[in-house]
Structure 1
Amino acid sequence: MNSIFPFLTPFEFYAALAIGLCGGFVKGVVGFALPLVLISGLTTFMAPDLALAGLILPTVLANAFQALRQGPKAAAGSIRLFWVFLLCGGITLVLSAQMVRVIPEEAMLLAIGVPIVFFALLQLSKYKFHLAKRSTRVEACVGAFAGAVGGVSGVWGPPTVAYLTALGTPKHDQMRIQGVIYGLGAVALLGA
């Protein structure tokens, strides 16, 4: 038996499993970053488009649990509250996901790496965004940006977290809202 799947050797399969377990642990601790850990780990030994495909199902399942942890009514309330973010993010996610097959691998790695490095540097700088009140325009722009990045890289968490934090969203609510946004985004990516 040379491979478990036609496109993975046994070593790659177990490496992907270990990366997935690590990503699941991180998600359990901080509430996000499963796709970030998966995409950055998997692309070290597989093509970016295959890594992107590999993170979709674990992301859908993990975020379904996170979104529904406080019950379906709370999750539905989050959808009603952030429908602009979800709509704009969903549209740009589906559109940008169509580019995955035509973007050269180097450009794809750049599209994955640049936003991750940018948001990591932003976090290290300790700069905090703050929005005095919600703005539909800002929400639409951040949602569209998160979706565009997510469609190509599978990672739409950093702009989402930055936006929710800038709004001063309580951590308890933020975890549910992130689960809803990431879960619906993963479903959209699955359909794209």
Structure 2
Amino acid sequence: MSSLIDHLHLVAATFLLAGLVKGVTGLGLPTVAIGLLSLVMPPDQAAALVVVPSLLTNVWQMAAGPALGPLVRRLWPMLAGVCAGTWAGSGTLTGSGAGTASAGLGIALVVYAAFGLLAIRPRRVPAGAEWWLGPLAGAATGLVTAATGVFVIPAVPYLQALGLEKEDLVQALGLSFTVSTLALAGSLAGAGALDPRGAGYSLLALAPAVLGVFAGQWVRRAVSALVFRRCFFAGLLMLGAHLAVKGLA
């Protein structure tokens, strides 16, 4: 954790910004935090720092919605796929795969940013296809999570394609991210990248993250959500491109 100690101010600022993004958009905390922290430390160490803030803020988001029980019953095949995919890819972030993980993270961010900037709306998933498409989307998300620490692709487009009401979608995102965070934590712990000391550092990162979430909720009421999202995705695109080139160099 020497990189963390050397960059405490950057870590605090990163989680403040990541929390702000989540407060405005309902997602993006791990994406922003891991993307920025990977500029100064290995991706597995950045992912370990994200565990506690991501878990608690997403549990909060999941619990605040109106229909947790029905969503769990509907989405459990996808969630099981997330766990299976994450554990199947366990260890990708650590050791000799660090450079590949950095490139993978960059590519994942570029894809995610492109979806956001182009306002691509995925086609509606037919109800009869959820039983097989959900586990596939979950497993793919798990593999991306294991390789990059980021769990938005393809989980977010899949959930958006289910035709959920706004509040249900926000709660479904919180549910998906909670399960993904737990699966990632288990994967990191199994690979030795998340130990009690690292968990303690992650707990300290919770304070600026929560402060950022509250600030983001204020910004959401004061600033056009469309303008904010465009700026967010443009910044994410540049960050992802930089990480991809750095990882492949």
TM-score, normalised relative to structure 1 = 0.89
Contact 1:130 / 1:168 at 8 angstroms: preserved in 2?
no
1:160 aligned to which of 155, 163, 176: 155
Rounded to whole Å, the distance in 1 between the matches of 2:125 and 2:38 is: 39
| Map 1:1-192 → 2, pairs under 5 A | 6-10=2-6, 12-70=7-65, 74-134=67-127, 135=129, 136-192=131-187
Q: Partner letter of residue 45 of structure 2? A: L
1:70 Cα shift? 2.8
Q: CA deviation at 1:128?
A: 2.0
Partners of 2:110 and 2:96 lie apart in 1 by 20
- Code of the residue aligned with 2:53 in structure 1: it is P
Number of residue pairs matched by the alignment: 185
Question: Which structure 2 residue ranges, 5 or more long, are not aligned?
Answer: 188-249
Which amino acid is 2:100 matched to? A
| 1:56/1:132 CA distance change after superposition, 3 Å | closer
Q: Note the C-alpha offset of 1:126.
A: 3.0
For structure 1, the 5+ residue unaligned runs are: none
SS at structure 1 position matched to 2:89 = helix
What amino acid sits opposite 1:66 in the alignment?
A: Q
Change in CA separation of 1:131 and 1:88 when aligned onto 2, cut-off 3 Å? same
- Alignment TM-score, normalising by the size of structure 2: 0.69
Closer/same/farther in 2, CA of residues 100 and 132 from structure 1, 3 Å limit: closer
- Cα pair distance change 1:7/1:25, threshold 3 Å: same
Higher relative contact order (CA 8 A, sep 6+): 2
Q: Secondary structure at the match of 1:45?
A: coil
Q: How many percent of aligned residue pairs carry the same amino acid? A: 27
Q: Which runs of 4+ in 1 moved over 4 A?
A: none
Give the Å deviation of 1:143: 1.0
Name whichever structure is richer in helix by fraction: 2
Give the stretch that moved more between structures: 89-98 or 119-128. Answer: 119-128
Q: Deviations over 1:96-141 (max 9, x none)?
A: 1322224432211111111211222233233321125131222121
